[in-house]
């Protein structure tokens, strides 16, 4: 019996006692005294059942329940309540709690409820369609992200087209997966295509397909991604890079739910849930007449904007520990945690590459570390060039260095292009690179 139980209660002695009882019965048990610690535990170890006290010190247990169900919708949560909070427990059941038990807790009765939750959870997993993807849970404790997840879950219950906006690396594809996983179409795999990866003629072909003989080399009928996604969801990434001619065809498909293959003479009905994403400022592109205003208006009723990592820094420790645990499962590493100095340094970083950059940073450190804790010296070189200090000026310098470094990487260290993008002379760029010990080449 290897099932893990997470106890969430602000009374540490009671947590330890209850955890010991479960351990004696063959379970693994861990505890957290608040919602933040609970999410840290969930990111580090797979959990099968949660026991959550409604009276959680300064926190409202119902709010913690809502956050848990948003990020881990299939994880059974059993509420623990006093006799005077039965109405609150019933409210928790309506929100999605699996069951509740009253204090003083009868352990044998609680054990039966836990066993029932585990049984029902296993049955639910067996009943899931074999071709359903195993989507990762969203790792966040940030209020803005939790609200966004709530909206995403509501949108998932509809067939409205959705537009995801935000900088590169903020997790737009993960949110698209989250939406599809919570939709009625999740029995089919969601199809994905990056619009920036294809020239116009190939993108047209990939999206809408072609008939045999439509052009030289078209030796057979080819079904485009819209046809292949029939009954499922279609994720179009980087829609801001899509040519105007393709945008017109996308708009027509959204309005009529029909496509026509290249070289074809008949319309084909498609039933597709449309999710798009972009890191571009679409209203600005409309002003430059390189994005269709009518397509934007078709999408802008259901926009979800993902905040940059620097705007949700309370998630950095949680995400960093999650990525370290994820890396440890797939690769051999001696590291089990990150030092406090590292967490402080990560907090001060500007994160131009957002969550993707954080994941790559943790993976890099976990690869070279030789101790049980990741230290400053294990971080990528650009993290260690400046000695972490306090003071507003140094934070500004860190941000400037990070911006210069990310720009150089974006243009493959072409100093002329980098200087133009940074709106500075090449001489100024070289001086700042020397100041921040940034190498002249990759």
Residues 341-346 have a mean pLDDT of: 90
Asked if residue 223 and residue 164 are part of one domain, the reply reads: yes
Adjacent-strand bridge partners of 194: 237
Q: What whole-number distance in Å separates Cα of residue 68 and Cα of residue 158? A: 22
Quote the pLDDT of residue 70. 72
Tokens of 221: 């009928």
pLDDT at position 83: 59
- The answer to whether residue 440 sits within a structural domain is no
Share of residues in the chain with pLDDT > 90 (%): 44
What the block records as the tokens of 180 is 């599809």
Question: Comparing 117-121, 144-148, 307-311, 358-362, which segment has the lowest mean pLDDT?
Answer: 117-121
Pairing state between β 191-194 and 233-237: parallel
Output 320 or 421, whichever has higher pLDDT.
320
Domain stops at, among 127, 155, 187: 127
Residue 133 lies in a domain: no
One domain, residues 180 and 123: no
In the block, residue with structure tokens 């974006």: 410
CATH of the domain at 332: 1.10.8.60
pLDDT score of 135: 47
Q: Is residue 50 part of a domain?
A: yes
Cβ count within 10 A of residue 166? 19
The answer to whether the CB of 422 falls within 8 A of the CB of 407 is: yes
- Please state which of the ranges 89-93, 189-193, 321-325, 378-382 shows the lowest mean pLDDT: 89-93
Q: Give pLDDT tens digits for 4-13.
A: 899 999 999 9
H-assigned helices in 6-129: 12-24, 35-44, 61-71, 86-95, 107-127
Confidence band for 387, pLDDT divided at 50, 70 and 90: very low
Domain that holds residue 341: 310-435
Local confidence band at 295 (pLDDT 50, 70, 90 cut-offs): very high
Neighbours of 2 (CB within 10 A): 8
Check whether 442 has a pLDDT greater than 80: no
In a domain, 441, yes or no: no
Q: What is the mean pLDDT of residues 69-76?
A: 79
Q: Is the pLDDT assigned to residue 438 strictly greater than 60?
A: yes
Residues 46 and 160 in one domain: no
Domain termination residue (choose one: 267, 287, 305): 305
Regarding whether 149 and 297 lie in a shared domain, the answer is: yes
Task: Considering only residues 67 and 184, tell me which one the structure prediction assigns the higher pLDDT.
Answer: 184
Task: Specify burial of residue 70 (Cβ count, 10 A radius: 0-12, 13-18, 19+).
Answer: buried
Into how many domains does the chain fold? 3
For the segment 376-396, the average pLDDT, to the nearest whole number, is 64
With contact defined as beta carbons under 8 Å apart, do 79 and 89 qualify? yes
Per-residue pLDDT, 152: 92
- Picking from 127, 154, 179, the residue at the C-terminal end of a domain is 127
> Is residue 301 domain-shared with residue 314, that is, in the same domain?
no
Q: With 80 as the cut, is the pLDDT of residue 90 above it?
A: no
Q: What is the pLDDT of residue 385?
A: 59
Name the band, by pLDDT with cuts 50, 70 and 90, for residue 395.
Answer: low
154 and 298 inside one domain: yes
Confidence class for position 382, pLDDT limits 50, 70, 90: confident
pLDDT of residue 163: 97
How much is the average pLDDT of 151-161?
Answer: 91
In the predicted model, is pLDDT for residue 125 greater than 60? no
What sign results for the dihedral spanned by CA atoms 368, 383, 312, 234? negative
Question: What CA–CA distance (Å, rounded) separates 399 from 20?
Answer: 47
The verdict on residue 387 lying in a domain is: yes
pTM (whole model) above 0.85 = no
In a domain, residue 134? The reply is no
Domain identity same for 169 and 291: yes
Q: Do residues 233 and 367 both lie within one domain?
A: no
The secondary element (H helix, E strand) that includes residue 192 is: strand 191-194
Could you read off the pLDDT of 231-246 as tens digits, one per residue? 999 999 999 999 999 9
Domain-embedded: residue 23: yes
Residue 136 inside a domain? The answer is no
* Mean of all residue pLDDT scores within the chain: 86
Q: Cα(288)–Cα(233) distance, rounded to whole angstroms?
A: 30
């Amino acid at each position: 019996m290897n099932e893990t139980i997470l106890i969430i209660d602000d009374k540490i002695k009671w947590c330890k006692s209850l955890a010991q009882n479960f351990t004696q019965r063959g379970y693994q048990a861990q505890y957290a005294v608040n919602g933040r610690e609970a999410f840290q535990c969930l990111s580090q170890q797979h959990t099968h059942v949660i026991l959550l006290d409604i009276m959680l010190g300064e926190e409202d247990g119902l709010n913690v329940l809502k956050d848990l169900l948003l990020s881990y919708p299939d994880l059974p949560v059993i509420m623990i309540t006093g006799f005077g909070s039965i109405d609150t427990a019933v409210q928790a059941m309506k929100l999605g709690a699996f069951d509740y038990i009253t204090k003083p807790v009868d352990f044998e009765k609680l054990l039966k409820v836990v066993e029932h939750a585990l049984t029902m959870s296993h049955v639910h997993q067996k009943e899931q369609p074999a071709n359903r993807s195993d989507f990762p849970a969203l790792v966040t404790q940030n209020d803005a992200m939790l609200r966004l997840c709530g909206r995403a879950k509501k949108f998932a219950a509809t067939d409205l087209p959705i537009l995801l906006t935000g900088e590169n690396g903020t997790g737009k594809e993960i949110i698209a997966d989250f939406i599809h996983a919570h939709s009625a179409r999740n029995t089919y795999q969601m199809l994905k295509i990056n619009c920036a990866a294809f020239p116009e003629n190939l993108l047209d072909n990939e999206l809408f397909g072609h008939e045999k003989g439509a052009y030289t080399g078209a030796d057979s009928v080819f079904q485009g991604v819209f046809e292949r996604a029939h009954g499922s969801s279609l994720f179009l990434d980087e829609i801001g890079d899509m040519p105007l001619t393709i945008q017109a065809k996308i708009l027509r498909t959204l309005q009529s739910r029909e496509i026509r293959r290249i070289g074809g003479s008949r319309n084909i009905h498609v039933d597709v849930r449309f999710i798009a994403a972009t890191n571009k400022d679409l209203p600005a592109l409309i002003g430059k007449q390189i994005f269709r205003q009518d397509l934007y208006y078709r999408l802008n009723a259901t926009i979800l904007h993902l905040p940059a990592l620097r705007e949700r820094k309370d998630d950095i420790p949680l995400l960093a520990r999650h990525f370290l645990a994820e890396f440890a499962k797939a690769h051999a590493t001696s590291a089990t945690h990150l030092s406090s100095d590292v967490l402080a340094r990560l907090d001060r970083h500007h994160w131009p590459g957002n969550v993707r950059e954080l994941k790559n940073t943790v993976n890099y450190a976990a690869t070279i570390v030789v101790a049980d804790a990741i230290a400053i010296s294990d971080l990528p070189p650009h993290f260690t060039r400046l000695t972490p200090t306090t003071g507003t000026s140094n934070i500004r310098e860190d941000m400037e260095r990070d911006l210069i470094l990310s720009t150089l990487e974006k243009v493959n260290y072409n100093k002329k292009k980098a200087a133009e993008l940074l709106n500075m002379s090449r001489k100024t760029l070289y001086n700042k690179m020397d100041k921040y010990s940034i190498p002249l080449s990759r």
